Amino acid sequence: MNKRGQFSSRLGFILAAAGAAVGLGNIWGFPTQVASNGGGAFVLVYLVLTFALAYPILMVELTIGRFAQANMVGALQKISPTKWTRKLGTFTGLWGMLVVTLILSFYAIIAGWMIAYFLNTITQFSGLVEFSAWLVDFSLSRNIVFCVIFSCLNVAIVCKGVTEGIERWSSRLMPMLLILIVVLIIYVATLDGAAQGWRVYLVPDFSKILDPQLLVSAMGQAFFSLSLGVGAMLIYGSYVSKQENLPELGASVALIDSGIAILAGMLIIPAMYVAQHNGVTIFTETGDLIDGDRLIFKVIPQLFGSMGAIGNLIGAAFFLLMAIAALTSSISMLEVPVAYAVESRNITRHKAAWLVGAGIMVISLIIMFNFELLFSLVIKVTTEYSQPMIGFLLCVYAGWIWHRNELLTELSRGCTTMEASLFWKIWPYYVRIVCPVIILVMFYKSVIGR
């Protein structure tokens, strides 16, 4: 029997879980969505959904994980009282694992680009023109090389286990990320044109708030950003000490996650308007703000390019920031199948990490070879459809299937006054009814009702 790892401290857990949550979804996805969904209106809806929908589901994952001390498949089986619910548990757990594997396989490709763009700031500086061009041009060879480099880094950290790998590296990388982002915000805010960006970002256009597309995108963003529905938070929850107050821990993670997303918006949206001021086109032919990869890999580098010598340094900091954020998230994704292999298949962690890592690299390769066909499709199927649906199933578990007493006992560890708390008065009903209904309605709107 392998001894289960545990985070060594409260802060260690918070940094690791915040590291899992804060990723490309915050620094790329969020500002991009803000750009394409009417600025401040999206920010507002996203914040409401993060605390009204995503936080309660985060609590479901953390609580089930800590109670069961197991990966998602094992945990859902453990809290299932009947044969059928056990089967549903196995299905949900395996589905989550499949989804996280697919998410990691596209995520590692994007993360590889971040490393390539980071290196480009150095090679450009050193006058290696051809090499620079290879780094920034979209090519199969470039994509493969950097995806493999990133994936190896990821595997190397996960090999080391919970405290030595995940916690240690998240605790080192997360503060670095915060410092980089704040420095960049301050710098960009001083540039001409930034003020207009701040206005677009902070003043919501209320007429857009109930736009169904905006609501669905904001829900997807909230789920993706808090890493829900794939068992990543569940497994991190299983490494939390029984002395900790879970609702407080969960709230810290949700606050840090949305805080960093908001900060990333303060960087990217003003940066776009600075770029416009410098002559870069930031609107598409249809009048919308440029978003997605064109925003991160065209507009932003053009901005750095227009800043002269300092632009190179700022560019390096920016892409380093992206790579770090991607790495701490990828660690948590890889941990999901690795923990399953270690716990359910009795393989050593080292072996499991390399085997699973290699399998995911193969999927990344398949995506890279069929990029046009698969890349957006995999993103859509995993993040837009699967994550909310698994979130729904997790609510069904916590609200309808798992015994309430066990739920209360688990939450009361680390918080003796739980039964009388406001959290316990609201959350169980909320997870039982409100969250599943919201998810279903949104789902209906996005898939069937368009």
| Chain residues that interact with ligand PHE, rule: CB under 6 A | 20-21, 23-26, 100, 103, 224-225, 227, 230, 232, 329, 332-333
CA angle, residues 396, 398, 402, in degrees to nearest 5 = 105
Q: Are 132 and 148 in contact (CB under 8 A)?
A: no
Nearest residue (CB) to ligand PHE, 224 versus 397? 224
Which token pair is 365? 């390769």
Q: Between 282 and 321, name the residue whose CB sits nearer to ligand PHE.
A: 321
Smallest gap from residue 184 Cβ to ligand PHE (A): 18
d(CA 309, CA 304): 9
The count of other CB atoms within 10 Å of the CB of residue 11 is 12
Least distance to ligand PHE, CB of residue 409, Å: 28
CB of 246 to ligand PHE, least distance (A): 19
192 in Cβ contact with 274 (< 8 Å): yes
The backbone torsions φ and ψ at residue 231, rounded to the nearest 5 degrees and listed phi first, read 85, 0
- Give the separation between CA 149 and CA 366, rounded to whole angstroms: 17
Taking the least distance from each CB to ligand PHE, the nearer of 193 and 220 is 220
Tally: H helices and E strands in the chain: 23, 0
Q: What are phi and psi of 283, to 5 degrees?
A: -115, 145
Task: Determine the Cα–Cα distance for residues 63 and 246; give it in Å rounded to an integer.
Answer: 7
DSSP state at residue 418: G
Q: What are the residues whose beta carbons fall under 8 Å from the beta carbon of 315, sequence distance 6 or more?
A: 117, 121, 300, 301, 304
- In the complex, least distance from residue 224 CB atom to ligand PHE, rounded to whole angstroms: 5
Contact 234, 225 (CB under 8 A): no
Residue 422 CB neighbours (<10 A): 8
User: By C-beta, is 20 or 249 nearer to ligand PHE?
Assistant: 20
The nearest distance, CB 24 to ligand PHE, in angstroms, is 4
Rank residues 282 and 336 by Cβ distance to ligand PHE and give the closer one: 336
106 vs 423, beta carbon nearer ligand PHE: 106
Q: Least distance to ligand PHE from the beta carbon of 412, Å?
A: 28
Least distance in angstroms from the C-beta of 422 to ligand PHE: 27
User: Which DSSP state fits 284?
Assistant: -
Task: Find the shortest distance in angstroms from Cβ 20 to ligand PHE.
Answer: 5
Residue 243: DSSP 8-state: T
- Least distance (Å) between residue 21 CB and ligand PHE: 5
Closest CB to ligand PHE among 107 and 397? 107
C-beta atoms surrounding 168 within 10 Å:
18
Question: How would you classify residue 205: left for phi > 0, otherwise alpha for psi between -120 and 50, otherwise beta?
Answer: beta
Structure tokens given for 228: 């829900």
Minimum CB distance to ligand PHE smaller for 121 or for 332: 332
CB nearer to ligand PHE: pick between 391 and 414: 391
Pick 132 or 258: Cβ nearer ligand PHE: 258
Q: Distance of CA 219 to CAs 32, 40, 170, 396, Å?
A: 15, 16, 26, 18
SS3 406: helix
Q: Which is nearer to ligand PHE, 21 or 431 (CB)?
A: 21
Nearest approach, Cβ of residue 28 and ligand PHE (Å): 8
Q: Where are the alpha helices (DSSP H) in 137-167?
A: 140-159
Residue 99 CB, shortest distance to ligand PHE, in Å, is: 8
Q: How far apart are CA 271 and CA 231, in angstroms?
A: 35
